[in-house]
Amino acid sequence: MIKPSLLLTVGFFTYRLLIAHDALPERVTVAHRLEGAPINLGSSITLFERDEIQLMGGLFLQDVLRWSPGVSIARTGGPGQESRLYLRGAESRHTLILLDGVEMRNTNSADGFDIVHLQTGDIERVEIIRGPLSTLYGADAIGGVINIVSSPSGEQPDGDLTFSIGSHDTFTGSFSSRGRKGRIGYALNSSVYESNGFSVVTNGLESDSYTNTSTSFSLDYELSTQVDLQFSTRLIDTETHFDNAATTDVANFLSDQMDAFYQLRMDRKVDDENASDRVALTYKDLQRDNVAFGTEYFASQARKVEWQHTHVFGDDLHILGGIEYLAEKGQQELDYGFGPSTVINDALSTTAVYGQMRKSVGSELTLDLGARVDDNSVHGTEGTWRIATNYRLSESMHLTGSAGTGFYAPDVYYLAYAQDRKTLRPEQSIGYDIGIEHRFLGKRATLGVTFFQNDINNLFSWNSAFRVINVSEVETGGIETSFVWSPGAHWKLLFDWTHLKTKDLSTGKQLDFRPEDQVAIRLFWMPSGKKYQVFLGVRHRSVLFNTYSDPLTWKTFNNSERNPSPSGANWEASVRYQLSDNASFFLRVEDIFNEKLEDMRDYNGNPYAVSGQIFRAGVNWFF
């Protein structure tokens, strides 16, 4: 746990640095369910807008999230290989991924949902909300929520077409079209990624190729001035070649995955838009076939119906309430060529009721209060609460704070491997954060410091019989520091530093794959009326500790005991040149100095391969 004396020292010197300046313009976020401006909210939020995402040039969501404070990502090799996302040190399954309001959770996966396959082709905005948010979103939100918003339909028909080629025989293509005719609006995007990749095994001879075809489509219809009906779907089809971890180069290990998401939603505004209703029906079907030492088939389906009502009483009181019903099931068929095949079929359901109030007291104080009750068909009833506050010290400075509880009930995957499913308890957490943010230099700079702590009980783990059990408490905590400065009309500099301390109280050791320190610096030059736009960024992390398991004793080593991955930095740059009013050329370089910074090591202590220096160039047409 971070010592209180350190927090007080940081707070004091930050306060002395921040006295008396002005405010930056407000930016609106919707991930709260209650819409609001970040300057008035008690949550710790990071936003990535479309223009920044496009100039940075990353093809996948994880290329964007790596730049966020509090986020660390460990990937087992090159494109398409499995990855793990840790938000403020919480497990991957503890972060809820939302895409246009659809929960991407896979109930038949140890890590919830792997973001590695999400392309950025139609992403308009990404919001990272840190801290326990189970009160609003239920399970998966112990660490926080990543809310992804795709491009809207727009009022006038337009579209774009993009092609690029790059290292490792990589080809990408993306097509988007959107528009509106009368009451009907539409948005379509199709993205293709193909790469020969490189071997997951360092110095391996066999390349591990990857293909990804992603398609999204949405259609909205204005039934009246108050009622809007929308249908959306997203299909992700991937094929990934992989090896025996990072230990043995293998030619015929293959994973085929097909994820399908559908949602039908109706939004209704009433009482002169002071109140609104939202009704949504969601269906998910996720399937994966693995060919390795044998054959493995994983599938999960989920159906969800939800209703939410929001009412606004003047400018100072917002009330939100809702009810949800979620039914999930999963199947596993495992055949390794010896003994009988393993066949697992399981199902569970959850009914939830939640409510939140946002109250403004004058222009200085905003207070959020929320509570939620989930009733799970296997684990019974679980309640959570959250309080968040934002206090404006001046026009340029405000304090934020939040505290809340979270939980993660065993899903189909963990139930399938539980030592005793009747006694396997939900993971539970209590977390809090407190921060100060200041805007100065004539509305051109922002400095923020946030202290956070999250204690998680009943964490899931594996015993020597390969069964899931609850272990004791883990602690994650630290400090996030962010600085944003626009020295001129066309320049933007962002600096983020995360200091993270984690501990497994049952072993006294630091948690694996979570670096203690991460620094990210991004510089944008985006002049209007000029043909060039430039991005330059560098990420640095401290030593990364890995898990090593002795196959004879099942004793687990980490930290400095076995095979830490060394610290290091990764530089990236991209440039975009406007060829004409409707066409542009772009060039992106990753790992400019070819440092080949490791993401993680496998259970034998072997490092997963990284690509090193990568080039990609392409053309984008607008029509």
Q: What domains are there in the chain, each with its CATH number?
A: 4-177+184-200+213-622 (2.40.170.20)
* pLDDT over 50 (residue 16): no
Can you say whether residue 364 is alpha, beta or left, with left for phi > 0 and alpha for psi between -120 and 50 degrees? alpha
Q: Are 117 and 212 in contact (CB under 8 A)?
A: yes
Q: Are strands 158-166 and 227-241 parallel, antiparallel or unpaired?
A: unpaired
Region of poorest pLDDT, from 19-28, 332-341, 412-421, 476-485? 19-28
Of residues 45, 61, 31, the one with CA closest to residue 130: 45
Q: Would you state the pLDDT for residue 232?
A: 96
* Mean pLDDT for the chain overall: 88
**List of residues 6+ apart from 235 with CB closer than 8 A:** 214, 215, 216, 258, 259, 260, 261
Region of poorest pLDDT, from 326-330, 526-530, 535-539? 526-530
**List of residues 6+ apart from 225 with CB closer than 8 A:** none
**List of residues 6+ apart from 212 with CB closer than 8 A:** 80, 117, 119, 191, 192, 193, 194, 236, 237, 238
Q: How distant, in Å, are the alpha carbons of 34, 357, 359 from that of 370?
A: 12, 6, 12
Residue 13 — very low, low, confident or very high, per pLDDT cuts 50/70/90?
A: very low
Rounded CA-CA distance 119/61 in Å is 6
Q: For 326-339, how does the pLDDT look when each residue is reduced to its tens digit (9 = 90+)?
A: 999 999 999 988 87
Q: Are 79 and 89 in contact (CB under 8 A)?
A: no
Q: How distant, in Å, are the alpha carbons of 47, 366, 544 from that of 2?
A: 26, 27, 19
Q: Are 363 and 392 in contact (CB under 8 A)?
A: yes
* pLDDT over 70 (residue 1): no
- Which residue type does 165 have? I
Q: Are strands 568-578 and 275-291 parallel, antiparallel or unpaired?
A: unpaired
The token pair at 516 is 């203690």
For the chain, the farthest-separated pair of C-alpha atoms sits apart, in whole angstroms, at: 73
Torsion sign across C-alpha atoms 393, 398, 399, 405 = positive
Mean pLDDT confidence for 79-93: 94
Rounded CA-CA distance 165/194 in Å is 10
Q: Are 142 and 382 in contact (CB under 8 A)?
A: no
Tell which wins on pLDDT, 108 or 274.
Answer: 108
CA angle 516, 520, 524 (to 5 degrees): 175
Single pTM value for the model: 0.91
Q: Are 515 and 89 in contact (CB under 8 A)?
A: no
**List of residues 6+ apart from 192 with CB closer than 8 A:** 171, 172, 173, 174, 211, 212, 213, 214
Q: Which residue has the tokens 């991004």?
A: 522
* pLDDT over 60 (residue 10): no
Of residues 526, 537, 465, 610, the one with CA closest to residue 74: 610
Residue 90 — very low, low, confident or very high, per pLDDT cuts 50/70/90?
A: very high
Of residues 164, 103, 110, the one with CA closest to residue 138: 103
Q: Would you state the pLDDT for residue 262?
A: 98
Q: For 129-180, how does the pLDDT look when each residue is reduced to its tens digit (9 = 90+)?
A: 998 888 888 878 899 999 999 988 877 888 999 999 999 999 999 999 999 9
